[in-house]
Structure 1
Amino acid sequence: MFKTAFIFPGQGSQYIGMARDFYEKLPECKEIFDIASRELNLDMQKLCFEENELLNKTEYTQAAMLTSCVSILMAVLKSDVKPDIVAGLSLGEYSALVANGVFTFSEAVKLVRKRGIYMEHEVPNGIGSMSAILGMDKEKVEEICQKVSKELNKVVEPANFNCPGQIVISGDKVAVLKANEKLKEAGAKRAIELNVSGPFHSSLLKGAGEKLAMELEKIELHDMNIPYLSNVTGKIVSDKENIKKLLEEQVYKSVRWQECVENMINDGVERFIEIGPGKTLSGFIKKIDKTKEVINIEKLEDLEKLTNVSIKKN
């Protein structure tokens, strides 16, 4: 059976002006920004649309990205194309959970605001780091990270398994830089230190995950309307009672995005629609399986792509 997946990007895809055309032209999209501003006591329009230094600070970025993605989602849902399954990369998992009904947007944006604050402040600025490793297999990256961690008694771990040939590592800055050297010596094409404010998806953020868990306990999850996949397992979540623990662990465990995509394909997904700023996930999918249909909805005019989507479901 031909299936369509809605997928949502994570932190790092943000930019000034994201989703502005949706906000200005469609009332259902504007409403999402208005809800975010009211729930968080922040001017979300100013944060997303006007030049400022806050948008790239994690404690603001995450709420802004969720708001932009869900705003665009509202426009997409008015089309005849509906998702059979949803997933998101890291922060994008919260947009996926709004799309499948587990969270209302109001619940999700308050959670994500707390998540961003906890992640921003768990490790002092300058202590942690992340790097993208290109052209190295998973087993070798894991092996070298383990060796460096043991040698320095510092944390460096795989943080994101994005697609073939791209793995992100995370941890103490000194250990990440040492691992960069070792990985290049072992044959990695490149090791690119990322401009991030913390060692995300590493065990150094376990405390942030535990704080988030306390916030999650205050929320009653709604039933899932359609399946979604967890970053932590790379698999479809069959029991909503597991979601809170998985979201806690997602803060400090590896994001298994490649596995998420491969499992969606194995489940019959032939079309991926990336909803939100940037085209990062579309690029990953093309590297995982170039035969699949990939559509990116980032600008208002992108909605026209959906009118041309052929109905292939049985």
Structure 2
Amino acid sequence: MGKTAFVFPGQGAQAVGMGKDIYDADQRAKEIFESADAALGFELSRIIFDGPDDELKRTFNTQPALLTASVAYLELFRTRFGITPDYVAGHSLGEYSALVAAGVLRFEDAVRTVRARGEFMEQAVPGGQGAMAAVLGAEREALQALCAAVSAEGAVVELANLNCPGQIVVSGSKEGVQAIVERGKEAGAKRVIPLEVSGPFHSSLMKPASDKLDGVLAELGMEPAAVPVVANVTARPVQEPGEIRRLLVEQVSSSVLWEDSVAWLIEQGVDTFVEFGSGTVLAGLIKKIDRSVKVYSVNSLEALDKFQSETAV
């Protein structure tokens, strides 16, 4: 038997109604949604279950909503199967879900923190001045060189999410990202797709959000990680609270090294990934990185049953 990693999705995976099935069926899951509402002082669960979609898509709602859904599915899975992972990792916002899973952060503290993180990210750059785009088919080095050339001309654009071979998200000023949309072929891109986002996340333009988040994280109680957390910024494991805090601050304005993180986990002998939360975004990326590993997406009661029947746990 190889090793197991629990992984958690980030922004973009959200969907109205996520987690409603377990909220209705399981008391512990219901309590998690209710404790998120209590921690924030408003009914986040109503936005999660009923929308509207525009309201759920607002960064400061999306982040605590995804965290809550992920942790609710995780808790149900743990109660049912009692499996402890060898590693945990999360994509961007998902890193906070991973930290809850590893016992670093209390759930309520994490919910309040990502709500603030979402607000800081929205405030960092005035609306319409930043953008992001998915670049398909380009090599990392070639795209990096094109971004550097465009940035040198005065329009900031940087590599934001290194998701899997042939899928990289760029982020920066509206002009910088537009230049990549127009000139992507120079870096070998087959397609460049502008993304519907409210800001240039994971770029140096998010530095004001990093600075504000630093203040919030400094006040937060953290425990050493019970299992190693593979950090977005380094694609390497971290367990010590001071180091985790530093990397979370950096993460807001740094690249998410997802492909590198998954590759590192596979090198350590991980052959089974379990994704918790809405959708199957990470399962898709992991399969593009290495087809031979097993990936399960725990995003419904049905998925829990399927995991049980396929693994005979």
Could you say which TM-score interval applies, normalised by the shorter chain? over 0.9
Q: Which amino acid in the other structure matches residue 17 of structure 2?
A: G
- Post-superposition offset of 1:94: 0.3
Paired position in structure 1 for 2:36: 36
Distance 1:18 1:25, change over 3 A: same
Give the stretch that moved more between structures: 184-193 or 262-271. 184-193
Asked whether the 8 Å contact 2:225–2:239 carries over to 1, the reply is: no
Paired position in structure 2 for 1:197: 198
Q: How many residues align?
A: 311
In the TM superposition, what whole-angstrom CA distance separates every residue of 1:225-259 from its partner, at most 9, and x where no partner exists?
A: 11110000011114332011100010000000001
Paired position in structure 2 for 1:74: 75
Q: Which amino acid in the other structure matches residue 144 of structure 2?
A: E
SS of the aligned residue for 2:216 comes to helix
Paired position in structure 2 for 1:98: 100
Matched residues in 1 for 2:187 and 2:96: separation? Answer: 36
Paired position in structure 1 for 2:268: 267
1:45-60 to 2 correspondences below 5 Å: 45-52=45-52, 53-60=54-61
Structure 1 residues not aligned, in runs of 5+: none
1:114-193 to 2 correspondences below 5 Å: 114-151=116-153, 153-193=154-194
Matched residues in 2 for 1:260 and 1:124: separation? Answer: 32
- Post-superposition offset of 1:82: 2.7
Matched residues in 2 for 1:57 and 1:51: separation? Answer: 11
Give the stretch that moved more between structures: 283-292 or 298-307. 298-307
Asked whether the 8 Å contact 2:143–2:187 carries over to 1, the reply is: no
Matched residues in 1 for 2:108 and 2:76: separation? Answer: 18
Moved runs in structure 1, 4+ residues, more than 3 A? 309-312
Matched residues in 1 for 2:44 and 2:261: separation? Answer: 31
Matched residues in 1 for 2:41 and 2:239: separation? Answer: 35
Matched residues in 1 for 2:126 and 2:116: separation? Answer: 17
Paired position in structure 2 for 1:88: 90
Asked whether the 8 Å contact 1:276–1:297 carries over to 2, the reply is: yes
Paired position in structure 1 for 2:254: 253
- Post-superposition offset of 1:300: 1.1
Q: Which amino acid in the other structure matches residue 12 of structure 2?
A: G
SS of the aligned residue for 2:238 comes to coil
- Post-superposition offset of 1:294: 0.6
Q: Which amino acid in the other structure matches residue 209 of structure 2?
A: A
1:196-235 to 2 correspondences below 5 Å: 196-235=197-236
Matched residues in 1 for 2:175 and 2:242: separation? Answer: 38
In the TM superposition, what whole-angstrom CA distance separates every residue of 1:66-87 from its partner, at most 9, and x where no partner exists?
A: 1111111111111323311100
Paired position in structure 1 for 2:2: 2
Structure 2 residues not aligned, in runs of 5+: none
Matched residues in 2 for 1:158 and 1:23: separation? Answer: 37
In the TM superposition, what whole-angstrom CA distance separates every residue of 1:82-104 from its partner, at most 9, and x where no partner exists?
A: 31110000000000000000001
- Post-superposition offset of 1:154: 2.0
Paired position in structure 2 for 1:107: 109
Asked whether the 8 Å contact 1:79–1:306 carries over to 2, the reply is: no
SS of the aligned residue for 2:88 comes to strand
In the TM superposition, what whole-angstrom CA distance separates every residue of 1:97-133 from its partner, at most 9, and x where no partner exists?
A: 0000000101100101100000011101100000000
TM-score (norm 2): 0.97
Give the stretch that moved more between structures: 251-260 or 176-185. 176-185
- Post-superposition offset of 1:59: 1.2
Matched residues in 2 for 1:3 and 1:169: separation? Answer: 32
SS of the aligned residue for 1:169 comes to strand
Computed over aligned residues only, the root mean square deviation of the Cα atoms, in angstroms, reads: 1.3
